[in-house]
């Protein structure tokens, strides 16, 4: 055991001193992930300020605006000023609450929000969706009131009513894109693992070590353990830093995400070992791994959500470790990650069967 730890320490020291290896395996992925995370958080977190005119003669229009401001950035204009802004092309669209807004709500009828826009004005987006939601809640409250029940608008929200939105997780699409990017980097890391092993074999570094008192399993185990530890820690830190800076809400899933990243790193290591054993040419190794990883990432749902894939493709998804890792993360079920271990064990056993043959 002591000899194994010494070999492990020696390899960790060697790998961390290799600036090119660190740049390609850790630093470059970190920069790409953090830049994407920052850009996507700004896109997802920002909402275009909407211009609105309140022409309502009752009190419901003001209540509508206050409720809408919880989800939408609003700038309120007088009618003349709002129309002038559109006319001068300073804003693309300005919404107007009609004069009979309160009257229609009281009657249980759905009012129409007027939109003044340029011919090239933007298509309906978040404002229209949020406005429609608020109006529906106001009408629903009216129905309850007519039945003798006083219900506030807050009580009619999804969260207060405990209505589950099937298929819509609290995490944003940007968070999923960044997570899939990290997963892809972990898998493509197998290329670096293979080239590292091939280099050691070509230089006879591992083979010469067999002349010492160390066992072959301890030698190859120390090398592989060093590669595994470096990748696991590196990608876990990348995820945590990005989550802390760009997606704090995603930190709640950190334990299951990190567990799956570590197990995917184990699969990446096993894949690299397996391909290195059966392919001897470095160029061919890179090509084989790129093809295998690209196909499994596509089929497994780490390039795009599985729901978007053709049914003929999704039938093969369960045969990829990416699928099970994503299922584990999305559902929060850590037990599903055990399937990733099975994939790793199959490849690792095949790749390291008879260690001396692997080395030679």
Instruction: pLDDT band for 214, please (50, 70, 90 cuts).
Output: low
Residues in the chain: 360
Instruction: Report DSSP letters for 2-26, one per residue.
Output: HHHHHHHHHHHHHHHH-HHHHIIII
C-alpha–C-alpha distance, residues 7 and 213, integer Å: 12
**pLDDT tens string 132-143:** 888 888 888 887
**pLDDT score for 98:** 93
Nearest to 228 by CA among 352, 139, 356: 352
| pLDDT of 4 higher than 80 | no
Biggest CA-to-CA distance, the chain: 93
Task: Report CA 155 to chain centroid distance, whole Å.
Answer: 31
Mapped onto helix, strand or coil, the DSSP state of residue 112 is coil
- Burial code (b: 16+ CB inside 10 Å, e: under 16) for 11-34 equals bbeebeeeeebeeebbeebbeebb
Cβ(193)–Cβ(272) under 8 Å? yes
**pLDDT score for 150:** 75
Q: Is the pTM above the cut of 0.85?
A: no
Domains of the chain: 7-42+169-359 (no CATH), 48-161 (3.40.1710)
**pLDDT score for 311:** 78
List residues bridging with 115 in a β-sheet. Answer: 95
| pLDDT of 351 higher than 60 | no
Higher pLDDT, residue 235 or 173:
235
Mean pLDDT of 14-36: 78
**pLDDT score for 221:** 76
**pLDDT score for 208:** 57
C-alpha–C-alpha distance, residues 261 and 289, integer Å: 19
| pLDDT of 114 higher than 80 | yes
Estimate the crossing angle of helix 2-17 against helix 216-246, to 10 degrees.
Answer: 50
User: Which of 49-53, 209-213, 273-277, 304-308 bottoms out in mean pLDDT, i.e. has the lowest?
Assistant: 209-213
Looking from the CA of 14 toward its CB, the CA atoms found within 13 Å total 15
Mean pLDDT of 85-94: 85
Cβ(340)–Cβ(221) under 8 Å? no
| pLDDT of 92 higher than 60 | yes
| pLDDT of 94 higher than 50 | yes
**pLDDT tens string 254-284:** 899 999 999 999 999 999 888 888 887 878 8
Instruction: pLDDT band for 210, please (50, 70, 90 cuts).
Output: low
Q: Average pLDDT of the chain?
A: 79
Higher pLDDT, residue 48 or 55:
55
Cα end-to-end distance, the chain, whole Å: 24
| pLDDT of 125 higher than 70 | no
Residue 157 vs residues 67, 130, 170: alpha-carbon distances, Å: 11, 12, 15
Cβ-Cβ contacts under 8 Å for 128 (sequence gap 6 or more): 113
């Amino acid at each position: 055991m002591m000899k194994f730890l010494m070999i492990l320490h020696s390899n960790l020291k060697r790998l961390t001193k290799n600036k090119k290896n660190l740049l390609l395996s850790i630093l470059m992925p970190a920069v790409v992930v953090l830049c994407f995370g920052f850009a996507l958080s700004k896109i997802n977190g920002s909402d275009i300020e909407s211009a609105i005119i309140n022409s309502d003669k009752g009190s419901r229009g003001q209540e509508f605006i206050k409720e809408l401001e919880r989800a939408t950035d609003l700038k309120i204009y007088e009618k003349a000023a709002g129309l002038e802004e559109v006319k001068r092309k300073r804003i693309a669209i300005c919404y107007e609450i009609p004069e009979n807004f309160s009257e229609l709500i009281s009657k249980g009828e759905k009012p129409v929000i007027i939109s003044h826009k340029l011919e090239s004005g933007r298509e309906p987006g978040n404002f229209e969706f949020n406005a429609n939601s608020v109006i529906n809640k106001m009408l629903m409250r009216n129905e309850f009131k007519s039945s003798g029940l006083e219900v506030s608008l807050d009580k009619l929200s999804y969260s207060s009513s405990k209505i589950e939105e099937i298929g819509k997780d609290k995490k944003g699409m940007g968070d999923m894109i960044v997570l899939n990017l990290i997963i892809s980097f972990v898998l493509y890391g197998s290329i670096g693992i293979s080239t590292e092993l091939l280099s050691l074999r070509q230089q006879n570094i591992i083979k010469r070590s067999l002349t010492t008192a160390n066992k072959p399993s301890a030698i190859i185990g120390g090398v592989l353990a060093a590669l595994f530890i470096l990748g696991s820690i590196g990608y876990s830190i990348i995820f945590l830093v990005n989550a802390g800076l760009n997606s704090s809400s995603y930190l709640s899933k950190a334990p299951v995400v990190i567990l799956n990243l570590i197990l995917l790193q184990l699969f990446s290591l096993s894949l690299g070992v397996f391909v290195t054993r059966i392919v001897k040419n470095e160029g061919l190794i890179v090509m084989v791994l790129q093809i295998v990883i690209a196909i499994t990432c596509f089929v497994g749902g780490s390039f795009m959500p599985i729901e978007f894939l053709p049914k003929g493709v999704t039938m093969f998804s369960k045969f990829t470790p990416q699928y099970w890792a994503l299922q584990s993360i999305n559902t929060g079920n850590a037990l599903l990650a055990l399937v990733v271990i099975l994939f790793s064990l199959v490849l690792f056993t095949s790749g390291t069967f008879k260690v001396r043959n692997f080395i030679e």
